[in-house]
Structure 1
Amino acid sequence: MNALYAFLWIFALWKWGDWRNWKMYYPTILFYILGDFLYLYLLSDFYPMWTYDPQGVDEKVNLTNTHVSFSIMAVKYPVTILIYLYRFPGGKLIKKLLYILGWVLLYTVNEVVDIKLNLIKYHNGWNLKWSILFNAVMFIILWMHHKRPAAAWGLSILFILFLWRQFDVPSAVFR
């Protein structure tokens, strides 16, 4: 599954992404990856919200949650940015909101497929509704980061603090 997802995302990049101008989007790609890396480092071993559970061939070759997470960071996130920001519409706010909603829907469908195939497990109160909210905020912040990085960092910190409090994350994760 992991390889199939990677292939699909790379195909999407080739078809719809601005891969030739990747340097223009590089800061936002790093911002996106850093956010997930912090989650992986701080929470996934001690207080995860979700974990990936490799199945089939992925399981047979001993892939773990960490392997899947790193492959998502290496392929899905850069591709997402190179398509999402490149094709982000100008003009009216409603057009922008519908575009963001489309990406939230795409990520939600991806996660529903993962749920149905037992590729993802939720923990500590996280569920699909939280993922949808998270993705909505994330796509707004990613667009904001491309335009106004400092504002995106500030909003990200506020959202992280909200989630931290909402899910009662123990301070022991700071090992």
Structure 2
Amino acid sequence: MIGVWRRLNEFYSTLLFWIIGDLLYASLLHDFRVWEFRPVWIDHFILPTHTIIATAIAFINYPSVIVVFLGRFPKSNIKKLCWVILWAMIFQAIEIIAYLNDSIVHNHGWTLTWSFIFNLMTFSLLAIHRWKPWVAWLLSILNIILLWIIFHPPLPK
């Protein structure tokens, strides 16, 4: 595991890509969040708001996930596909637990099914970004447009 952390520089631009995506969600949909983190238990003292929780996730969880996800990314196409699905399922399981204990809520038609689709898109884009950054950016823009059409959020003021 330590060897993978030494390679963080290789994955740094992909980590920034992921964090930028999160920041875009936070700023563009500030008043129309389709999912929102809520503090539970001790979180009220440590992570009292959605914004602080989301920021902590981006700067603490994402680097850890990136080094494992990309650092151990398989070579064969079928294993690559399985790896992306595995990570989408891990994030889905975490979200289901959070959903059941009310530390995440869904709004405006967002569901656990949409979250799984979003997780598949996210991990696919992270894998693509690692090797073809501009393709990932283009696909991200297309995904944003598609989600905007489906969920009809108002334009930010």
Common fold: TM-score over 0.5: yes
Q: Where in structure 2 are there 5+ consecutive unaligned residues?
A: none
What is the CA-CA distance between 1:21 and the residue it aligns to? Answer: 1.6
**Contact kept? 1:16, 1:83, Cα under 8 Å:** no
What is the CA-CA distance between 1:17 and the residue it aligns to? Answer: 7.1
**Contact kept? 1:28, 1:145, Cα under 8 Å:** yes
Q: For each residue in 1:126-145, what CA deviation from the matched residue of structure 2 results, as whole angstroms up to 9, or x when unmatched?
A: 11000000010111110000
What is the CA-CA distance between 1:57 and the residue it aligns to? Answer: 1.2
Partner of 2:4: 18
Q: Where in structure 1 are there 5+ consecutive unaligned residues?
A: 1-14
TM-score by length of 2: 0.95
Amino acid at match of 1:158: L
Segments of 4+ in structure 1 off by > 6 A?
none
**Contact kept? 1:17, 1:82, Cα under 8 Å:** no
How many angstroms apart in 2 are the aligned matches of 1:32 and 1:137?
12
Partner of 2:20: 34
**Contact kept? 1:17, 1:83, Cα under 8 Å:** no
Aligned residues: 157
* Identity among equivalent pairs (%): 36
**Contact kept? 2:7, 2:71, Cα under 8 Å:** no
How many angstroms apart in 1 are the aligned matches of 2:62 and 2:45?
25
1:89 to 65, 70, 74: 74
* Cα RMSD (Å): 1.4
Amino acid at match of 2:116: I
Amino acid at match of 1:22: L
Partner of 2:121: 137
Secondary structure of 2:105's counterpart equals strand
How many angstroms apart in 2 are the aligned matches of 1:138 and 1:56?
29
